[in-house]
Structure 1
Amino acid sequence: MTSTIHTHSLTWQVSPDLLGIVNQAGIFIETNPAWETVLGWTEPEIRSMVFTDFLHPDDMDRTLALFTTMKAGEPALHFENRYRCKDGSYRWLSWVAVPEGDIFVCSARDVTGDKANVRALQSSEDEAKLREQFIAILGHDLRNPLASIGSAVRIASRQPHDEKIAAMFSAIDGSAERMAKLIDSIMDFARARLGAGIPVDLKPTADLREGFERVVDEIRIAHPDRKFKTNFEFEGALLCDAARLDQLLSNLVANAVTHGSQDEPITVITDRADASFVLSVGNSGKKIPDHAIPKLFEPFERTEEGASLQGLGLGLYIADQIARAHSGELTVTSTDDRTVFTLTIPLERKS
């Protein structure tokens, strides 16, 4: 018994999917025009071949196994294999085939492009993950030799030496400290980019003032020509990682030193607003261009062309990641005469 199939219907003629009728011998006795469009074979050529003539060798066994189950009355749903084009190339097809009497009614969609996109995306993700893992491993393995250098310098500096040697020891120690900070930034960047986020140890902290004052004092000592104004109004406990907030503040103040006006003070303020802890760092100076603000917290971004390349451009990115790890938000407003970065952390977390 053979089912009646309307092979001359409009749907049969214009469908972009490959439509066909296969007999028990595995020959496509009817095909629509999409076969020639996708694979290049004409209907008479297809009728002279068995479906196995089209198959990629690697797909032969599993396709024959499927055909056996179809003969037993089982349909094929979303079965994928590769069919040979007339030019010798192969296209990935996704099949739906249903037994009807002594024939099989089939449709196939060309999914070659989808396969290529998935492979490209997977390859891109694998490469990105490998790069970031390499950065993490490199940063970790640099710590030990750097610690040895610092220890050797400190021991050697205790021995008798003249002022010239003392200056050299001081320069080496300063360079080692800067390298350690760069490694810390690399490690934080790698953790954030690998999906785990920057780790935080959240604890109720009653007083952030001491740590914040220490951060500002350290930067003040390093930049004696700059002025700083602080106003720590926030009182009460905050669930946070105090060391990470110190790091965030350090990054924001360092950014203000780099880009702010040397004639006006940098302000550091903490306060409570709308049931939130608020930390703001402001500086006078050139406005951040509007086009730069959306990318300001992305890694390796700088707000000005020709800005110093001594850092990695990770400071604001890491500060933003620390804010996110605290369920907070880091924002920026910039006008013609003032730029302010504001951290907001809710005092009560949503469960």
Structure 2
Amino acid sequence: MTNHRLSEFIHSDMERILQTWEDFARTIEPPALTMDDVELRDHARQMLQAIADDLATTQSDAERTAKSQGLGKRERADTAAETHAEARLLSGYTVVQLVSEYRALRSSVLTLWIADERKEYATDVADITRFNEAIDQALAESVARYESMVKRSQNMFLAILGHDLRNPLGTVVTGSQLIMAAVDIPPKYILVATRMYNSAKRMSKLVSDLIDFTRTHLGPGIPIHVRQGDLVQVCEDVANELRTSQPEMQIDFLAPNSIEAIFDGARIGQMLSNLAGNAIQYGNADMPITIKLQRSDDDVVITVNNHGDPIDANELARIFAPLVRIAAESGTGECTSLGIGLFISREIVHAHAGHIEVSSSAQEGTTFTVTMPRLPAGFSSPATGRNRAGERAAW
């Protein structure tokens, strides 16, 4: 007897194993029926050869544990299992079908080996363990690559959709503005144009959020363009806009006369608008929304507080996760947004090298706290030099 009997069996009975596995693959509907025999066996042979070669080598306990967890050592950039996942995704396979192929591959090898009548291939528990670990490693690689490709294709679709929606929405906004400014048409048309304008602006915000969401998944994150300015003025403008759009709500704004900082004014306004809008939506209409700004030598702190039902501790842990609201409200029929506003707010804060926290209780209400540096990394103090844009700031 040799030490690696299963390895030798796989090499010598490759065609029989592949045929058994192929017979199973043919039962998968509908994509498998659209492929010829060569496509059905595309990477199974490579995976089996890699597994057999692996069985013929010694491994440490640490290597065995890593492999069983799908963390085995990689021999090349793209393994056969990863390439197999890409081919199956492009062929229309679901992840369930992909996993079922590995179950069939495992079953084909072990069933044929145990049933083999040749005495030189006796059953060995160590071989079975090594084989299962190798299959687990290949399965983990395939599922990870499949999931990564699905997410990327979804995000790419959303990015293209959001980009293509901008132009027609811009036309609606511009056209409705022209009608609203007209003085020679009946008031009822002005009213319709106003409603069109407001709806188009809301849609534009949703599209902008969608594009920002895809940017965080397809690139380095939300882009910002910082410059020196008065943070109080930017935040107060947001508060006044909310007072105009939500006249029934009391919105308190507490801040010093000015806070000079280096930041992206449009992005900070977007972040604060998202946080305050969330507070208005979920807060008690009879209690005020409080926006407060404070500063220290190095940092600025922005808080948004509302009173209402406290957020459950389990929900707090995932409140910044994207699309959480859609998942939570999918059975209520009351989903009114994409559920990515808080996620985008967090990404904007992170882009400014800051952090955001949330606390919630029945006594204190729900408070979002944003802390970020007044002078981002890479910028020198106005007293000692110029910033990266070459502009000298007055503090």
Q: TM-score, normalised by structure 1?
A: 0.70
Moved over 6 A (4+): 78-84
Match of 2:337 in 1: 311
Match of 2:119 in 1: none
Match of 2:246 among 223, 226, 246: 223
Match of 1:31 in 2: 2
Change in 2 beyond 3 A, CA 1:85/1:225: closer
Q: CA offset at residue 251 of structure 1?
A: 0.6
Match of 1:131 in 2: 154
Change in 2 beyond 3 A, CA 1:308/1:281: farther
Output the CA distance in 1 between the equivalents of 2:377 and 2:354. Answer: 12
Output the CA distance in 1 between the equivalents of 2:341 and 2:357. Answer: 14
Larger CA deviation: 333-342 vs 127-136:
333-342
Opposite residue 234 of structure 2, the aligned amino acid is: G
Match of 2:371 in 1: 344
Output the CA distance in 2 between the equivalents of 1:212 and 1:86. Answer: 66
Show CA shifts across 1:35-59 (max 9, x none): 36x89x6xxxx9xxxx555477956
Output the CA distance in 2 between the equivalents of 1:138 and 1:269. Answer: 37
Output the CA distance in 2 between the equivalents of 1:243 and 1:86. Answer: 62
Output the CA distance in 1 between the equivalents of 2:192 and 2:221. Answer: 39
Match of 1:115 in 2: 138
Output the CA distance in 2 between the equivalents of 1:341 and 1:233. Answer: 19
Output the CA distance in 2 between the equivalents of 1:285 and 1:261. Answer: 5
Q: Percent identity?
A: 29
Larger CA deviation: 117-126 vs 194-203:
194-203
Q: Provide the secondary structure at the position in 2 that maps to 1:179.
A: helix
Contact 2:231/2:265, CA 8 A, preserved across alignment = yes
Output the CA distance in 2 between the equivalents of 1:315 and 1:133. Answer: 19
Match of 1:287 among 297, 301, 310: 310
Contact 1:270/1:280, CA 8 A, preserved across alignment = yes
Q: Provide the secondary structure at the position in 2 that maps to 1:310.
A: coil
Match of 2:208 in 1: 184
Match of 2:175 among 147, 152, 169: 152
Output the CA distance in 1 between the equivalents of 2:375 and 2:192. Answer: 51
Show CA shifts across 1:245-283 (max 9, x none): 111110111111111111121111111147311011111
The within-5 A match list for 1:1-351 is 30-32=1-3, 35=5, 52-54=12-14, 85=109, 87=111, 109-110=130-131, 111-157=134-180, 158=182, 160-205=184-229, 207-233=230-256, 235-273=258-296, 275-302=298-325, 308-337=334-363, 338-349=365-376
Contact 2:321/2:343, CA 8 A, preserved across alignment = yes
Show CA shifts across 1:152-183 (max 9, x none): 22233426222222211111111100000000
Output the CA distance in 1 between the equivalents of 2:13 and 2:145. Answer: 32
Contact 1:234/1:270, CA 8 A, preserved across alignment = no
Output the CA distance in 2 between the equivalents of 1:242 and 1:348. Answer: 14
Change in 2 beyond 3 A, CA 1:234/1:112: farther
Q: TM-score, normalised by structure 2?
A: 0.63
Opposite residue 204 of structure 1, the aligned amino acid is: Q
Task: Provide the alpha-carbon RMSD of the alignment.
Answer: 3.5
Contact 2:346/2:355, CA 8 A, preserved across alignment = yes
Contact 1:233/1:270, CA 8 A, preserved across alignment = yes
Output the CA distance in 2 between the equivalents of 1:270 and 1:340. Answer: 13
Contact 1:215/1:250, CA 8 A, preserved across alignment = yes
Q: Provide the secondary structure at the position in 2 that maps to 1:200.
A: coil
Q: CA offset at residue 241 of structure 1?
A: 0.9
Contact 2:354/2:373, CA 8 A, preserved across alignment = yes
Change in 2 beyond 3 A, CA 1:196/1:262: same
Aligned residues: 280
